[in-house]
């Protein structure tokens, strides 16, 4: 049996952590002080892009690399803070010259190319509300989101436009300007669109940022659609305060860090931490245009001397599946901190980091709605593998009982499962669900925001994810979180990934069914099924262990990498699949 703690000693930490132990609650920086750590616009107000870019471009970090962009074909391009300031100014001028002003919706539909980052930052400078979309979305999800957000401008590539956007233009009456990036550097001449490079070349280098207040809308992020139709969450410029603070404490940015956030800006992690937080701290980020590839990823970590790495459980599980031998071909002497978000991180994955990469993986928890990391394992903390950590300074996390009739009561004692709630008012809290006021209202009870996730807090103040309220299985009077069952299955050497659902049953309410994908070298069959059932029963007890196991090649996932249990369930029960716009591999 492995120990329940991964202990940290000060001597093992390469740099002194920004959040020392044990005083996590009394951080050196309160939310108020973090706000003061940002400069604010010279004339008053707050603008994310000013804090992220112009502030550094005007100071000693002007020539420090902001982004090291790795092209699909391995070419590489550096963008300093100065470069970014200039390019985003030009883009802001482009918008301005088109008559696009404050509050207008700017959508960006690109792969991870430099223009995406320039457009996001330039649009923020122009006071617009930016919404980056996954380039892999199909025409319908693109059209739905642009229509919902009343997009005025779309930045995309000529190829994506031809393949996905042209056919839905008729459904987008608010969309006035389509700015195209010609792939391969070509200029484009598609009727009804404008060539972005030509406009950028003609634009002036200087731009006076449109004054924005801390409470002005800045970003529109769509949720991952794991539990249903994605919702549009609205965030304001004040979110930068939380991005700064969490960059400092949860990701432990230090000035010379080389940071790699593997998330695509099409979902909130890729924007909050792939763009904003590292820039606020003036560090260098890696942007990789290419998709996941185990060898490529190890090579990037090694060759680019990444020091802080932020990734997701699904990526870690894929690396685990690719085998230890591959990892051992590479060395990561510069890597000092690894964090993960998006899904529960199985203890097995935390240990894999420790044993194979030489560092444990630090899980942290947040949502599109929270705009930034809320609960985290910070560098100085001892890790309890399987726990998502402790609330960050300035975050009050509470476990509540949430009755079907809407009544909410605080659970004061440790180790009791309930809904995870947060004391409202942190700067990056979403300010609304687009066009769904009632739904937004229902997320709050008094001064609490109800997250829709179930968790428990232990006596040491660590939080343990149980499951999404929608995914929890009720079987013979027990409440079973799929994560617990999936983690137990993953402890078996044959299991690469597991997704667990409740299947309606007349006698016990629901029975636990597991879908399992296997590691290389293992064969699906009755013998292995029996072995896994036995393994799970031994680990979990008969009441919680799955009664059925099905072998699958892979599990259905969102494009942000989350297992879609609702889809496993719908398919199992022959029910409609619902919104599959974010399904990986979908149209």
Name the site residues for ligand ATP (rule: CB under 6 A): 223-228, 230-231, 267, 341-345, 363-365, 367-368, 388, 451, 453, 465, 468, 560, 562
Centroid of chain to Cα 441 = 24
CB-count burial class (<10 Å; 0-12, 13-18, 19+) for 559: buried
Residues 6+ apart with CB under 8 A from 404: none
Instruction: State the nearest-atom distance from the C-beta of 120 to Mg ion, in Å.
Output: 22
CB 365, min distance to Mg ion, A: 12
Which of 46, 72, 366, 407 has its CA nearest to residue 209?
46
Query: 395, 403 in Cβ contact below 8 A?
Result: no
- Count of Cβ atoms closer than 10 Å to residue 442 Cβ: 12
For residue 198, the tally of other CB atoms under 10 A from its CB is 16
Structure tokens of 117? 């980052």
What is the residue whose two structure tokens read 């009343």? 150
Q: Which of residues 464-493 bind Mg ion (CB under 5 A)?
A: none
Structure tokens that stand for 389 in this block = 């950590």
Closest approach of Cβ 400 to ligand ATP, in Å?
15
Alpha-carbon distances of 226 from 229, 315, 375, 471, rounded to whole Å = 8, 17, 20, 10
Which does residue 341 bind out of Mg ion, ligand ATP, none, counting CB within 5 to 8 angstroms by kind?
ligand ATP
Q: 212 touches which of Mg ion, ligand ATP, none (CB within 5 to 8 A by kind)?
A: none
Q: Please identify, using beta-carbon distances, which residue of 70 and 563 lies nearer to ligand ATP.
A: 563
Tokens 């609304």 belong to: 432
Whole-number Å distance between alpha carbons of 221 and 234: 7
CB of 199 to ligand ATP, least distance (A): 33
Cβ nearer to ligand ATP, comparing 149 with 344: 344
3-state helix, strand, coil in the chain (%, to 5): 30, 25, 45
The SS3 call for residue 67 is strand
Q: How far is the CB of 389 from ligand ATP (least distance, A)?
A: 8
Residue 527, classified by CB atoms within 10 Å of its CB into exposed (0-12), middle (13-18) or buried (19+), is exposed
**Contact call for residues 175 and 154 (beta carbons, < 8 A):** yes
CA distance to 38, 130, 244, per residue, from 213 (Å): 14, 16, 17
Q: How far is the CB of 225 from Mg ion (least distance, A)?
A: 9
Q: Which CB, 145 or 336, lies closer to Mg ion?
A: 145
Cα–Cα nearest to 581, from 99, 134, 242, 128: 134
Q: Which does 493 bind (CB under 5 to 8 A by kind): ligand ATP, Mg ion, none?
A: none
Q: Which is nearer to ligand ATP, 224 or 475 (CB)?
A: 224
- Provide the minimum distance between the beta carbon of 345 and Mg ion in the complex, in angstroms, as a whole number: 17
Considering only residues 217 to 236 of the shown chain, the ones binding Mg ion according to CB under 5 A are 223
Question: Out of Mg ion, ligand ATP, none, which partner does residue 50 contact, by CB within 5 to 8 A per kind?
Answer: none
**Shortest Å, Cβ 564 to Mg ion:** 12
Question: Quick one: 67 or 134, whose CB is closer to ligand ATP?
Answer: 134
Closest chain position to Mg ion (CB): 223
Contact by Cβ (8 Å): 340, 324: no
Least separation, in Å, of the C-beta of 191 and ligand ATP?
36
Q: How far is the CB of 230 from Mg ion (least distance, A)?
A: 9
| Closer of 274 and 282 to ligand ATP (Cβ) | 274
- Complex with Mg ion: residue 223 or 387, whichever CB lies closer: 223
| Angle ∠(260,71,157) on CA atoms, nearest 5 | 110
CA distance 91 to 104: 14
Measured from the CB atom, is 351 or 551 closer to ligand ATP? 351
Q: Minimum distance from CB of 205 to ligand ATP (Å)?
A: 37
Binds 365: which of ligand ATP, Mg ion, none (CB < 5-8 Å by kind): ligand ATP
- Give the span between the Cα atoms of 175 and 343, in whole angstroms: 34
Residue 362 and residue 468: Cα distance in Å, rounded? 20
Nearer to ligand ATP, 159 or 354 (CB): 354
Look at residue 342 and give the partner it binds from ligand ATP, Mg ion, none, a contact being a CB closer than 5 to 8 Å depending on partner kind.
Answer: ligand ATP
If one counts every other C-beta atom within 10 angstroms of the C-beta of residue 461, the result is 13
| 284 or 370: CB nearest ligand ATP | 370
Comparing CB distances to ligand ATP, the nearer of 223 and 285 is 223
Instruction: Give residue 453's Cα distance to chain centre.
Output: 16
Measured from the CB of residue 209, what is the shortest distance to ligand ATP in angstroms? 29
- With contacts defined by CB under 5 A, how many residues of the chain interact with Mg ion? 1
Give the residue with the Cβ less far from ligand ATP, 90 or 562.
Answer: 562
Of Mg ion, ligand ATP, none, which one does residue 556 interact with (CB within 5 to 8 Å by kind)?
none
In whole angstroms, give the CA distance from residue 533 to residue 522: 16
Residue 263's closest CA among 307, 228, 309?
309
Q: Given the rule CB under 5 A, which residues bind Mg ion?
A: 223
């Amino acid at each position: 049996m492995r120990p329940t703690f991964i202990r940290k000693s000060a001597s093992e930490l390469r740099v002194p952590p920004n959040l020392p132990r044990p005083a996590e609650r009394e951080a050196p920086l309160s939310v108020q002080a973090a706000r003061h750590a940002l400069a604010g616009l010279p004339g008053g107000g707050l603008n994310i892009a000013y804090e992220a870019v112009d502030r550094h471009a005007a100071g000693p970090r002007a020539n420090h690399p902001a982004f090291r962009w790795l092209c699909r074909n391995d070419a590489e391009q550096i963008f300093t803070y100065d470069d970014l300031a200039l390019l985003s100014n030009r883009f802001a001028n482009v918008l301005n010259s088109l008559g696009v002003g404050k509050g207008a919706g700017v959508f960006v539909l690109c792969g991870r190319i430099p223009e995406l980052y320039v457009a996001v930052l330039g649009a923020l400078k122009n006071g617009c509300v930016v919404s980056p979309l996954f380039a892999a979305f199909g025409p319908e999800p693109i059209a739905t989101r642009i229509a919902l957000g009343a997009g005025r401008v779309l930045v995309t590539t000529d190829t994506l436009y031809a393949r996905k956007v042209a056919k839905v233009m008729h459904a987008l009456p608010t969309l006035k300007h389509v700015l195209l990036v010609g792939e391969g550097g070509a200029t484009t001449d598609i009727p009804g669109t404008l060539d972005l490079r030509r406009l950028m070349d003609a634009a002036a280098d200087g731009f006076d940022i449109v004054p924005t207040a801390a409470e002005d809308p800045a970003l529109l992020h769509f949720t991952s659609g794991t539990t249903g139709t994605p919702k549009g969450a609205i965030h304001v410029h004040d979110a930068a305060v939380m991005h700064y603070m969490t960059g400092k404490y949860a990701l432990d940015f230090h000035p010379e860090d080389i940071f790699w956030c593997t998330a695509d800006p099409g979902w909130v992690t890729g924007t909050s931490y792939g763009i904003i937080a590292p820039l606020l701290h003036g560090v260098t980020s890696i942007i990789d245009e290419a998709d996941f590839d185990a060898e490529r990823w190890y090579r990037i970590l090694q060759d680019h001397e990444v020091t802080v790495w932020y990734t997701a459980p699904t990526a870690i599980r894929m690396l685990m599946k690719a085998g230890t031998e591959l990892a051992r071909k590479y060395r990561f002497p510069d890597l000092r901190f690894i964090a993960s978000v998006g899904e529960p991180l199985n203890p097995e994955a935390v240990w894999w980091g420790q044993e194979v990469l030489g560092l444990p993986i630090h899980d942290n928890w947040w949502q599109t709605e929270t705009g930034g990391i809320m609960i985290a394992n910070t560098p100085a903390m001892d890790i309890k593998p399987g726990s998502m950590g402790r609330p960050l300074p300035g975050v009050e996390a509470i476990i509540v009982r949430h009755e079907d009739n809407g009544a909410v009561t605080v659970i004061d004692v440790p180790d009791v499962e309930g809904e995870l709630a947060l004391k409202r008012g942190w700067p990056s809290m979403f300010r609304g669900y687009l066009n769904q006021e009632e739904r937004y209202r229902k997320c709050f009870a008094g001064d609490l925001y109800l997250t829709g996730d179930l968790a428990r807090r232990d006596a040491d103040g660590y939080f343990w994810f149980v499951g999404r309220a929608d995914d929890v299985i009720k079987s013979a009077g027990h409440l079973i979180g799929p994560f617990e069952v999936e983690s137990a299955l993953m402890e078996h050497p044959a299991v690469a990934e597991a997704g667990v659902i409740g299947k309606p049953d007349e006698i016990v309410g629901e029975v636990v069914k597991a879908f399992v994908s296997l590691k290389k070298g293992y064969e699906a069959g009755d013998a292995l099924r029996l072995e896994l059932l036995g393994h799970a029963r031994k680990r979990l007890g008969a009441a919680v262990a799955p009664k059925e196991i099905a072998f699958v090649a892979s599990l259905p996932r969102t494009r942000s990498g989350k297992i879609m249990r609702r889809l496993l369930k719908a398919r199992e029960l022959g029910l409609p699949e619902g919104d599959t716009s974010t399904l990986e591999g979908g149209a």
